[in-house]
Structure 1
Amino acid sequence: MKKARADRKQMSFPEVLLWQQLRKEPGGFRFRRQNPQIGYRLDFACLETRLAIEVDSEAHERGDRPQRDTVRNRRLAEIGFLTLRIPAAEILKDLGAVITGIVVACRERGPLHRPSDGPPPRSGEGF
């Protein structure tokens, strides 16, 4: 938890720009930053729709990083998360389009739990 708190203070410029928009709850979806999940810290996450958002710099294309990212994506998928990888350059180029894409992805996944439209039926009552 202390590491996540420290990481929140050391976000990259593209992450700061993205967070400034995500904290406004676009599309009515709430996002968290540096959210811990199964030993990983997600850059951003919409827990309601189980969407993980990772901001990828050029370093994600080098060395063993692509393989590590694939393993990470698969492990997160095992617990129900879809990982949306966004190149940092895209955030700098067209932040509005990035936000639109994130909201679309959230809507496609839909909330895990539907809001209640009243109390559940009493025992013996039908739906």
Structure 2
Amino acid sequence: MTRFPYDRNLRPLARALRKNMTKSERRLWTHLRRKQRGYTFNQQFIIGRYIVDFYARQLRLAIEVDGVTHDYEQGDGSDAERQRALEALGITMLRFSSTRIFKDLEQVLYEIDACIDGCERKRRSQ
């Protein structure tokens, strides 16, 4: 399992984000925690200079929940830059809007499970 270097100065922020998860993050977390999808997911996980909402280290799978703040950030390209940097480390990124988590949770979970299957195959072939 690869461990990535991370900015230790982000620890207090990650801890605060864990304590103050959004409603959509909390809703998704109830389906990711305790190996419900077969793997351990961590919440508000630090990778390099970024914090991802949920991360399964064994799979190198990061899941992001995009709320209102991401709508405003898209104009400056920070989400895209962040995703490119994480993917360059070999991390698979999944993004879901908070609205979608509330309106279509079953499909979101289906897509997560399909991605987990793909990550498992990729991991076995390496």
Preserved CA contact (<8 Å) 1:60 1:66:
no
Q: From 86, 89, 92, give the equivalent of 1:79.
A: 89
Query: Which consecutive unaligned segments of at least 5 residues does structure 1 have?
Result: 115-127
**Mapping for residues 32-47 of structure 1, pairs under 5 Å:** 32-47=42-57
**Residues 31-50 of structure 1, C-alpha deviation per residue, up to 9 Å, x if partnerless?**
11000001111100111111
Figure out how many residues of one structure are paired with residues of the other and give that number.
Answer: 114
Highest CA radius of gyration, 1 or 2?
1
Q: Could you say which residue in structure 2 is the equivalent of 1:107?
A: 117
Query: Which consecutive unaligned segments of at least 5 residues does structure 2 have?
Result: 1-10
User: Are 2:71 and 1:57 aligned?
Assistant: no
* Aligned-partner residue type, residue 113 of structure 2: V
CA RMSD of aligned residues (A): 1.8
* Aligned-partner residue type, residue 102 of structure 2: L
Preserved CA contact (<8 Å) 1:48 1:112:
no
Quote the Cα distance in structure 2 between the aligned partners of 1:40 and 1:74.
12
**Residues 60-107 of structure 1, C-alpha deviation per residue, up to 9 Å, x if partnerless?**
222555610110011001111111110000110122221121111011
Quote the Cα distance in structure 2 between the aligned partners of 1:38 and 1:47.
14
Preserved CA contact (<8 Å) 1:33 1:43:
yes
What SS does the corresponding residue of 2:77 show, helix, strand or coil?
helix
Deviation of residue 22 (structure 1)?
0.4
* Aligned-partner residue type, residue 56 of structure 1: D
TM-score, with length taken from structure 1: 0.80
Cα distance change of structure 1 residues 80 and 12 upon mapping to structure 2, 3 Å threshold = same
Could you say which structure has the higher helix fraction?
A: 2
Q: After TM superposition, where is structure 1 displaced by more than 6 Å over at least 4 residues in a row?
A: none
